């Protein structure tokens, strides 16, 4: 049995279904491990995005299935790009997605002293040396896939000289980039990662946790595997770009006195069309003002998706649907949007809102009368009950629900045509009022009092159309933001053009002076709402009681695919 210590005494078997779980099953059955410990190790240099969600769900999901634990580890080895803001956002996003690391939140900086001691160990055993070459020289002399690298002229320094140079690096006696510590492996190795990789670099930068204690910082490759070993991680799950780094991961474990032996396993990362998930590119979008911050609802960041109204459950469902493979592929963003619709269709309260209002005056309705109509809160959930919706002489409908010269199969309101107003009455359009420019400003209609609640009239006549509405006297004025895909090309990362050239100019449509039914005054942040016939919406962070703002999470149907045909 393994000597690793775990929170669980008897791990529960997982349901299987992918190669990672098969490996874990084999390790548990053979006694290699007595439990399962995974980790999610983001670098706090930006906000988490949808790609991270797959790793979060996998690592925390496996730990939960096997009765183990998953650590949250912040890989904070580059103080020049990291910030406490990112640490806080990462923790918030993981919790929002539905996972909890308990007491197991760690930082790579927790291990800086140990990593330094292990660097000294490599120096003393003749397996690391201080190199005086410039970064450009190191890069040039590394070679390529067809040519071996060139050994550094400083490679054969004695352990004593290397140790003295390394301690001077730590003491701050050298400028940034002046010297590095490298592993002494094989400059002719077929795997470029084993051609004397850099372990430490000089970097005079204050760290968000350790302050100015250090002016040398370990590289990711020298930190990752050793941190896993310190934390007794059993299975270190990484995306495929780290596959070529695995021999180096193992080399460090083989050549250092680590307390445990984790195993790195690679899987395909999550990639979506019409999306970029490079942190560098997302940062550019933010810094150049193409979006309004990391949590802009058009961004693929988890904070942006949350602000847009995406349910965490839908993201988890999507990650489960696409599964775990060893082959990179691009997933259709429509799959994610459909997962969102499925959850919201079940959970969203129904309300009426008009985002492009056209006034309707009911000429045969009493001017001072107000009725309260019964409207269901959710047609698929009787327990959601009903609400009272005020109805009066003047209403608002969507401008697109009226057509003066209706085409075939247009079943909404038109001159001389009668339609059902949801949960209210049947109305017939009798007159169209226009301004001097010929724009329609008002419709004058009559109602049938025998159709209250939308029921069929006694004479048996029928209508084909039902539209939503809002009482003009009781409407709440609001701003509604309609979001579309941030990029108008399915592969904005294509090398043929810069990804910024593919920004969708119609990704945000802000509608002012929208009319909402009074019940929406009580909408809470995070509450899923369906604006009937329009889509799913939520209250935005910019909203105030006096100036409400709603974001469209997703349309009721995938209109984008039809537009691209």
Catalytic residue numbers, as ranges:
43, 269, 279
> Residues near 559 by Cβ (< 8 Å), separated by ≥ 6?
none
The alpha carbon of residue 429 and the mean position of all alpha carbons in its chain are separated, in whole angstroms, by: 46
The answer to whether 70 touches 237, Cβ cutoff 8 Å, is no
The answer to whether 24 touches 6, Cβ cutoff 8 Å, is no
The answer to whether 373 touches 386, Cβ cutoff 8 Å, is no
User: Degrees (nearest 5) of the Cα angle 300, 45, 322?
Assistant: 35
Burial (CB count <10 Å: 0-12, 13-18, 19+), residue 288: exposed
The answer to whether 292 touches 503, Cβ cutoff 8 Å, is no
Quote the CA–CA distance of 429 and 445 in Å, as a whole number. 4
Quote the CA–CA distance of 365 and 430 in Å, as a whole number. 14
> Residues near 267 by Cβ (< 8 Å), separated by ≥ 6?
20, 58, 237, 238, 239, 240, 324, 325, 326
Quote the CA–CA distance of 471 and 503 in Å, as a whole number. 38
Neighbours of 51 (CB within 10 A): 20
Neighbours of 564 (CB within 10 A): 8
> Residues near 474 by Cβ (< 8 Å), separated by ≥ 6?
370, 390, 392, 517, 518
């Amino acid at each position: 049995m393994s000597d690793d210590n775990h929170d669980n005494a008897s791990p529960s078997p997982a349901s299987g279904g992918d190669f990672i779980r098969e490996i874990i099953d084999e390790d548990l059955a053979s006694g290699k491990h007595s439990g399962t410990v995974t980790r999610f190790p983001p670098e706090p240099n930006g906000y988490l995005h949808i790609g991270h969600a797959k790793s979060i769900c996998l690592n925390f999901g496996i730990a939960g299935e096997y009765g183990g634990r998953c650590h949250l580890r912040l890989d904070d080895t580059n103080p020049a790009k990291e910030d406490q803001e990112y640490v806080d956002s990462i923790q918030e996003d993981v919790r929002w997605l539905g996972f909890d690391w308990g007491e197991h939140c760690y930082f790579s900086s927790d291990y800086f002293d140990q990593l330094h001691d292990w660097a000294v160990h490599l120096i003393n055993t003749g397996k690391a040396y201080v190199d005086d070459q410039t970064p450009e020289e190191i890069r040039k002399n590394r070679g390529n896939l067809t040519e071996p690298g060139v050994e550094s002229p400083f490679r054969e320094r004695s352990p004593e000289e290397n140790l003295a140079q390394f301690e001077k690096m730590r003491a701050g006696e050298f400028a940034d980039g002046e010297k590095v510590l490298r592993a002494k492996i094989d400059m002719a190795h077929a795997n470029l990662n084993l051609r004397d990789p850099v372990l430490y670099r000089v970097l005079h930068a204050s760290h968000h946790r350790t302050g100015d204690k250090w002016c040398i910082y370990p590289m990711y490759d020298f930190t990752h595997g050793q941190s896993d070993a310190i934390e007794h991680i059993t299975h270190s799950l990484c995306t495929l770009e780290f596959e070529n780094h695995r021999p180096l991961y193992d080399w460090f474990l083989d050549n250092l006195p680590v307390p445990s032996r984790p195993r790195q396993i690679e899987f395909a990362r999550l990639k979506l069309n019409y999306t970029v998930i490079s942190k560098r590119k997302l940062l550019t979008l933010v810094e150049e003002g193409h979006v309004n911050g990391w949590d802009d609802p058009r961004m693929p960041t988890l904070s942006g998706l949350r602000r847009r109204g995406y349910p965490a459950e839908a993201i988890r469902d999507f990650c489960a649907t696409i599964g775990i493979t060893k082959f990179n592929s691009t997933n259709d963003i429509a799959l994610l949007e459909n997962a969102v619709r499925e959850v919201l269709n079940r959970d969203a309260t129904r309300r009426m809102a008009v985002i492009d209002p056209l006034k309707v005056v009911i000429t045969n309705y009493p001017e001072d009368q107000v009725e309260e109509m019964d409207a269901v809160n959710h047609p698929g959930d009787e327990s959601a009950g009903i609400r009272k919706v005020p109805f009066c002489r003047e209403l608002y409908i969507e401008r697109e629900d009226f057509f003066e010269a209706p085409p075939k199969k247009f079943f909404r309101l038109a001159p001389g045509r009668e339609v059902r107003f949801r949960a209210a009455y049947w109305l017939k359009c009798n007159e169209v009022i226009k301004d001097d420019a010929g724009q329609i400003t008002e419709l004058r209609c009559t109602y049938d009092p025998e159709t209250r609640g939308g029921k069929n009239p006694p004479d048996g006549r029928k209508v084909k159309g039902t539209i939503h509405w809002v009482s003009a006297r009781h409407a709440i004025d609001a701003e509604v933001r309609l979001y579309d895909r941030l990029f108008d090309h399915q592969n904005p990362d294509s090398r043929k053009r810069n990804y910024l050239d593919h920004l969708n100019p119609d990704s945000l449509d802000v509608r002012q002076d929208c009319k909402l039914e009074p019940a929406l005054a009580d909408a809470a942040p995070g509450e899923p709402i369906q604006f009937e016939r329009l889509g799913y919406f939520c209250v935005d962070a910019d909203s105030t009681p006096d100036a409400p703002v709603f974001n469209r999470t997703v349309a009721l149907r995938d209109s984008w695919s039809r537009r691209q045909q």
